[in-house]
Chain A
Amino acid sequence: MVGENNYNLLPDMLPIYYTRLFPQNILCRWLTCGSAPQPLSNRELSFTLADDIYLRYLTINNQKELQTLLQKKCPHKLDIGGVYNTKPSIGRHDAVVLSRELVFDIDLTDYDEIRTCCQEAKVCEKCWKFMVIACEIIDKALKEDFGFQNILWVFSGRRGIHCWVSDYDARTLDSPGRGAIADYLCLILGGEGQNKKVYLGSDNLHSSVRRSLNIIDKYFEELLQDQEFFSTADGLKKLLKIIPDEGLRSQVEKVLDKMNESSVQRWMSFINIYESYCRENTNAVRKIRYLIEEIKIQYCYPRLDVNVTKGFNHLLKSPFSIHPKTGKVSIVFKPKNAKSMKLDEIPTLYSLLDDSSPDNALHQTNMRTAVKNFQEVVFSLEKAEAMRRRNDPNMSVEF
């Protein structure tokens, strides 16, 4: 792919990108709507300039000002912050954040302990599937469980995805509320010192967990093949460490160690051993009732950066901002299309502006689609916001 090292071209290309391709208008409408009832000027923007110079508390009154600001500063990266009670600025300590989209940040680096194809900043089609699953699970939960409708999904620019929920109830949620949603969605807990990170207890499974498992099941075998979680000695050891029951663990170890290395086959025989073990040891069953489910979740379920969600004024990269290292555009995508997204088909600054690039045509098309996706979300948000205003004066819930 072209461009990975065209870092020094950024200053030349960004101004053109911002004027020609960056959807200023839609972004402003999205921000305006998402700031209501406060004016757009109470929203914090922040720019990262060349050499990591960081400008916080920038504000705009309208699209024109955004345009001027972009031209003047030509930011390498554009972040969006909260909506304040007044126009925020550096010196103002009386400015407090009143609202902010509910956001989620999922990054593949948090999958390093399970993915085998890549580590750290790297990402490939194989591990992208983790993002596909994450997107589907979170999207469903936000819609079905929490009743949110205005949800924007954005590629983070390198190895992850962001989600912005703009429903009024979500935007005005306080931090305990955000925390509760984050905790509700977070099934994987514990740091490096913890091998088994998922505990589902022994009562009924919550319907949302069950729904997530159904989603995981659609991808599980594919992931086993891609990632070969259990084929190496190391991978197998990790699996064994998750099994809390010693009897079961030693049985599994004995059998899996000797057999064919394919993770799919090892998984199948693990299930067999597990099932017969449960039949024979009825009193052990309680503790390991959902072991299979727990393992699937540990290996596939979204790993949220909960601090981003809990924090109320965390800055997050704007849609259509450029990732300064990869040159990739933070495109907006539809969750149902996440699966068919190809990483090298995500438009980059270089391919978009260089019509001799072999990717140019395709990337142009994908850029247009992404803008259209953004538009759709913004339109429906505007509609919802208009409705809310109409019903507003006495919207408060009655006790």
Chain B
Amino acid sequence: MDLNIKRKSTKTAVTGSLVETYPHDLQMYKIPPTENLSLKEFETLALERVVLLRSLATATTLKGLRLNSEEWTDYILGDLRTQGLKYYVKLCEKSACGTTDADLQARRKDHIAHFILRLAYCRTEELRRWFIARELELFKMRFATMRGDAIDTFFRLNNLCYTDITDEERNEIMHQLRECTSYANAENTKFYKVKFYEVLDLVKARKVFLKGGYAYIPHKDFISVLSAQYRTHLKQSLAKACHHLGEVEQDERLVALLKGLHQSYSGNDYSSVKAVIPIETLDTLSVKSYPLCMRQLHEHLRTAHHMKHGGRLQYGLFLKGIGVTLEDSLRFWREEFTKIMDLDKFEKQYAYNVRYNYGKEGSKRNYTPFSCLKIINNTVGPGDCHGCPFRHCEPNNLKNRLIGYGFDHQAVHDIIDITKKGHYQIACSKYFDASHNVDLGLGINHPNQYFEESQKLIKGDIKMDQKKEKVVIKKEINDLDGIDFDEPLD
């Protein structure tokens, strides 16, 4: 991208050319903008888009609204309106091909802002993931609100020519098509045939009929194909952008701005540790300051003296994150495992793993502890005990466990209630409140954050005796900067 920053904005584009450049509300951002831009506008556009993406993040991961559901869209549009981002409302509410000046200006801003954020978000794997996840949500929302003729134009403009299957082929597999797609009238729907790896999300959810390596997708599900393409495109572009950062960053003002954008929005990934926690305290801590997922793992380890790989990874990294040293960690696992196996076996089969978590083996990466989203979206198989209990345990078992821990019935009831609604992290926050006897309503997005909040509270960093403070804290938490960087995208 070729951005020349000037002190003062210069009106470059004539409306005529804007019509050519921006014929449609929805773009796939294939060509970078080339116009000159004032630093001020650069900054404004960047920040406004961050607000937009944040709003998507809140709707999806914090409010737990279903993607593209009515509530989800309403929440986002409402939020954009409150934030005064009318042009984004315009683009998101109903994608079309209007040619008014407002239309064109909105598209221009959208275009430029997207490219600026690429520069800000290409820096780390985490940032990239977050950015791609949000941009994809945005894309899907805008595609979903598009009208029929605008869709056709969109296809044409982007050279997307897919042909639908012949009637003959369709009749042959009509029965299966009806079975595998959730649309009542498969008879009257156009079906397209694409390679199965172009619609992984439909495959994953078993929402499409597969035959011989091809997926038969109804017109309506076409968005999956597009978003898969769009995702690949974004991934590559971010990699490229990262490569060219050096050139862009010759302007110091830009560097500060882009980095600032990132910092104003980067969550803690708990990969560096401040305090050292001795393992002798873990039993106490597991009761006082562990989130339930970790407490469950800890207790499992203490009773079974063994743990499957997924659990070792989740718990091991958590321990690293709260400040257990590698040596202590080795000792801790060794002491438990050697209760059921000899030392030799442990050293050969498991010690590697522990060192691996600390970046001392394998690819030597400094692995970061898992965030809630990662844990919640993890696959938990039979016999595993990792994962997020609010997500992976049956409410009844969860209930019994909580009662067993001595929580009062009202609290247990509340927690279970929220769990059943699918708000796992909110349930976790209620669990926090119940175990600390407070009413904070924290937003929990990371087990290590849970731990730190708890420690703060216990050590008296947050004073709880005044109602006023509660409000302050709540507000802070609602702001939730970068709450979900680790969202596993694929």
Which A residues are closer than 8 A to B by beta carbons?
52, 93, 109-110, 112-113, 144-148, 169, 173, 175-177, 179-181, 183-184, 186, 188-197, 203-210, 303, 305-307, 310, 397, 399
Q: Does B372 interact with chain A (Cβ within 8 Å)?
A: no
Among B159, B203, B382, the residue within 8 A (CB) of A191 is B382
* Chain B CB within 10 A, most for which of A144, A177, A193, A305: A193
**Cβ of B205: which chain A residues have Cβ within 8 Å of it?**
183
Contact with A along B204-217 (1 / 0, CB 8 A): 11100111111000
**Do residues A208 and B210 form an inter-chain contact, with CB atoms below 8 A?**
yes
**Cβ of A206: which chain B residues have Cβ within 8 Å of it?**
179-180, 206, 209
Among B161, B213, B309, B349, the residue within 8 A (CB) of A147 is B213
**Cβ of B310: which chain A residues have Cβ within 8 Å of it?**
307
**Smallest CB–CB gap between A81 and chain B, Å?**
13
Q: Does B189 interact with chain A (Cβ within 8 Å)?
A: no
Among B196, B380, B383, the residue within 8 A (CB) of A110 is B383
**Do residues B214 and A147 form an inter-chain contact, with CB atoms below 8 A?**
yes
Contact with A along B148-182 (1 / 0, CB 8 A): 00000000000111100000000000001011101
Do A305 and B203 contact each other (CB < 8 Å), given the known contacts A203-B182, A207-B176, A399-B162? no
**Cβ of B385: which chain A residues have Cβ within 8 Å of it?**
191-193
**Cβ of B363: which chain A residues have Cβ within 8 Å of it?**
93
A204 to B348, CA, bound (A): 49
Among B178, B200, B206, the residue within 8 A (CB) of A209 is B206
**Smallest CB–CB gap between B405 and chain A, Å?**
15
Q: Does B23 interact with chain A (Cβ within 8 Å)?
A: no
**Smallest CB–CB gap between B488 and chain A, Å?**
10
Q: Does B262 interact with chain A (Cβ within 8 Å)?
A: no
**Do residues B197 and A177 form an inter-chain contact, with CB atoms below 8 A?**
yes
**Do residues A177 and B200 form an inter-chain contact, with CB atoms below 8 A?**
yes
Give me 11 A-to-B residue pairs in the complex whose CB atoms sit less than 8 angstroms apart, sorted by A's number: A93-B363, A146-B196, A147-B211, A176-B200, A193-B398, A194-B397, A206-B209, A207-B176, A305-B381, A306-B381, A399-B162
* Chain B CB within 10 A, most for which of A93, A147, A184, A305: A184
Q: Does B386 interact with chain A (Cβ within 8 Å)?
A: yes
Among A177, A184, A194, the residue within 8 A (CB) of B393 is A194
Q: Does B298 interact with chain A (Cβ within 8 Å)?
A: no
Q: Does B379 interact with chain A (Cβ within 8 Å)?
A: yes
**Cβ of B380: which chain A residues have Cβ within 8 Å of it?**
189-191, 194
Do A191 and B383 contact each other (CB < 8 Å), given the known contacts A52-B348, A146-B196? yes
**Cβ of A93: which chain B residues have Cβ within 8 Å of it?**
363-364
* Chain A CB within 10 A, most for which of B176, B196, B379, B383: B379
A209 to B384, CA, bound (A): 24
Among A195, A303, A307, the residue within 8 A (CB) of B397 is A195
Q: Does B251 interact with chain A (Cβ within 8 Å)?
A: no
Besides the known contacts A145-B211, A194-B393, 12 further A-B residue pairs in the complex with CB atoms under 8 A apart: A93-B363, A109-B383, A147-B212, A179-B200, A183-B204, A190-B380, A191-B382, A193-B398, A206-B209, A207-B180, A208-B210, A209-B206
Residue of A nearest to B176 (CB): A207
For the residues of A in contact with B, the DSSP-based class is loop
**Do residues B206 and A399 form an inter-chain contact, with CB atoms below 8 A?**
no
**Cβ of B259: which chain A residues have Cβ within 8 Å of it?**
none
**Do residues A145 and B210 form an inter-chain contact, with CB atoms below 8 A?**
yes
Residue of B nearest to A303 (CB): B382
CB within 8 Å of A: which B181-237 residues: 182, 195-197, 200-201, 203-206, 209-214, 229
A112 to B195, CA, bound (A): 37
Interface residues in B, total, Cβ within 8 A = 48
Q: Does B20 interact with chain A (Cβ within 8 Å)?
A: no
Q: Which 9 A-B pairs have the closest CB atoms?
A: A147-B213, A193-B393, A176-B490, A147-B212, A180-B200, A191-B384, A145-B210, A180-B204, A191-B380
**Cβ of A147: which chain B residues have Cβ within 8 Å of it?**
211-214
Q: Does B323 interact with chain A (Cβ within 8 Å)?
A: no
Residue of B nearest to A53 (CB): B348
**Cβ of B364: which chain A residues have Cβ within 8 Å of it?**
93
Do A210 and B179 contact each other (CB < 8 Å), given the known contacts A189-B379, A191-B382? yes
Q: Does B408 interact with chain A (Cβ within 8 Å)?
A: no
Do A194 and B394 contact each other (CB < 8 Å), given the known contacts A176-B490, A303-B382, A399-B161? yes
Q: Does B387 interact with chain A (Cβ within 8 Å)?
A: yes
Among A52, A179, A207, the residue within 8 A (CB) of B209 is A207
**Smallest CB–CB gap between A161 and chain B, Å?**
17
**Do residues B382 and A180 form an inter-chain contact, with CB atoms below 8 A?**
no
**Do residues A196 and B394 form an inter-chain contact, with CB atoms below 8 A?**
yes
**Smallest CB–CB gap between A44 and chain B, Å?**
13
**Do residues A193 and B206 form an inter-chain contact, with CB atoms below 8 A?**
no
CB within 8 Å of A: which B378-417 residues: 379-387, 389, 392-394, 396-398
* Chain A CB within 10 A, most for which of B205, B210, B349: B210
**Cβ of B386: which chain A residues have Cβ within 8 Å of it?**
191
Do A399 and B200 contact each other (CB < 8 Å), given the known contacts A147-B212, A205-B179, A208-B210? no
Do A195 and B383 contact each other (CB < 8 Å), given the known contacts A175-B490, A397-B195? no
A210 to B205, CA, bound (A): 15
Residue of B nearest to A183 (CB): B204
**Smallest CB–CB gap between A109 and chain B, Å?**
8
**Smallest CB–CB gap between B222 and chain A, Å?**
13
Contact with A along B121-137 (1 / 0, CB 8 A): 00000000000000000
**Cβ of B159: which chain A residues have Cβ within 8 Å of it?**
399
**Cβ of B212: which chain A residues have Cβ within 8 Å of it?**
144-147
Do A110 and B211 contact each other (CB < 8 Å), given the known contacts A180-B203, A194-B393? no
Do A169 and B381 contact each other (CB < 8 Å), given the known contacts A52-B348, A399-B161? no
A144 to B383, CA, bound (A): 31
**Cβ of B382: which chain A residues have Cβ within 8 Å of it?**
110, 112-113, 188, 190-192, 197, 303
Residue of A nearest to B309 (CB): A307
**Smallest CB–CB gap between B398 and chain A, Å?**
7
**Do residues B394 and A195 form an inter-chain contact, with CB atoms below 8 A?**
yes
**Smallest CB–CB gap between B294 and chain A, Å?**
15
CB within 8 Å of A: which B306-341 residues: 309-310
* Chain A CB within 10 A, most for which of B159, B206, B209, B490: B206
**Do residues A194 and B392 form an inter-chain contact, with CB atoms below 8 A?**
yes
Residue of A nearest to B398 (CB): A193
**Do residues B213 and A179 form an inter-chain contact, with CB atoms below 8 A?**
no
A147 to B216, CA, bound (A): 14
